[in-house]
Amino acid sequence: MENNFVVASDIGGTHITSAVVNINTWQILENTISRSHVNSHSDAKSIFSSWCSSISRAVDLCEAQVTKLGIAMPGPFDYENGISLMKNQDKYDSLYQLNVSNGIQKNLINEKDIRFINDAAAFLQGEIFAGHLENRPKVLGITLGTGLGSAVWEKGDKAFDADLWCTPYKNSIFEEFLVTRWLTKRFHELTGIQEEGFRDILNKHIGSNAFDELLQEYTNSLYDFLSYFAEKHQSKTFILGGNITNAWDTIKTYNSAKLSEFEIFTGKYAEKAAIIGAASLFKI
């Protein structure tokens, strides 16, 4: 039974969340979830210590022996060799070109088999395995929020960051037309009303002519991105995540005929998806 359990961590710029996952059922053992703040501007020794405290706490809360560790890590990062390449990104500068695997091993009581995956790819992979979509030949992932994330998963391999946010589009790049700041900026242009976020626009203005125009324009751009992504990576199956997709039931009613060209699922596991995705590195 011990081989079913993997400790997995989702590392961000200010936090680490760790938990033990049963990779036979894709269940996170809720009692093992450990969330900690991390000072990503600190020295390497302090960062490794913070990470390993969270990892060790999750392992200690699991009754079974855990010998495998999967980590969802932001890029740039050498995921195969465990080398950090982050520099001048306002986080983890002290880890630049260090072997992160070695740094973590030195701070753990018991040695672990450590594997890494890009955080956007981990979200996609977690949603695929937990949502039982792993029989699809290829699935594409998109996150829509303050930024535009994209990832690709192909059966038998691990997901990877597609890095399409900066793809040229219209007079700029795709990200500038698909994120929260576009929605608030464009709504202000249409109405003169400055709302803080898309949720406020949705709650206060749904059904108005300006809202309809906003969503029509937004879904035109989304359709263009889906088409570009689908052609580039030869798949029409998508999983959408991020805060904007919380309103997917409303969004999809605009340009529904065009959007129906694709098989679209929405993410169900939120922050847990990256944890599951990191753990699934030991199932591939």
Same domain, 40 and 112: yes
- pLDDT of residue 284 exceeding 80, the answer is no
| pTM more than 0.85 | no
How many domains are contained in the chain? 2
Residue in 56, 80, 76 with CA at minimum distance from that of residue 119: 76
- Contact 115/73 with Cβ under 8 angstroms? no
How far apart CA 226 and CA 236 sit, in angstroms, is 8
- 62 and 90 share one domain: yes
Rounded to whole angstroms, the Cα distance separating 115 from 145 reads 27
| Cα distance between residue 18 and residue 43, in whole Å | 21
Q: Which amino acid is at 145?
A: G
Chain segment 54-100, per-residue pLDDT in tens: 999 999 999 989 999 999 998 889 999 999 999 887 889 999 999 99
Domain with residue 64: its CATH number is 3.30.420.40
Q: What is the pLDDT of residues 180-222, one digit of tens each?
A: 999 999 999 999 999 999 999 999 999 999 999 999 999 999 9
Round to whole Å and give the CA distance between 112 and 131. Answer: 27
Measuring CA to CA, which residue among 95, 114, 131 is closest to residue 241? 131
Residue 130: inside a domain, yes or no? no
Domain interval for residue 182:
136-266
Q: What is the pLDDT of residues 26-54, one digit of tens each?
A: 999 999 999 999 999 999 999 999 999 99
Mean per-residue pLDDT, 120-148: 91
| Same structural domain, 150 and 221 | yes
Is residue 239 in a domain? yes
Q: Which residues contact 162 (CB under 8 A, 6 or more apart)?
A: 140, 150, 151, 152, 229, 232, 233
Partnered with residue 6 across adjacent β-strands are 21
Residue with tokens 């030195």: 106
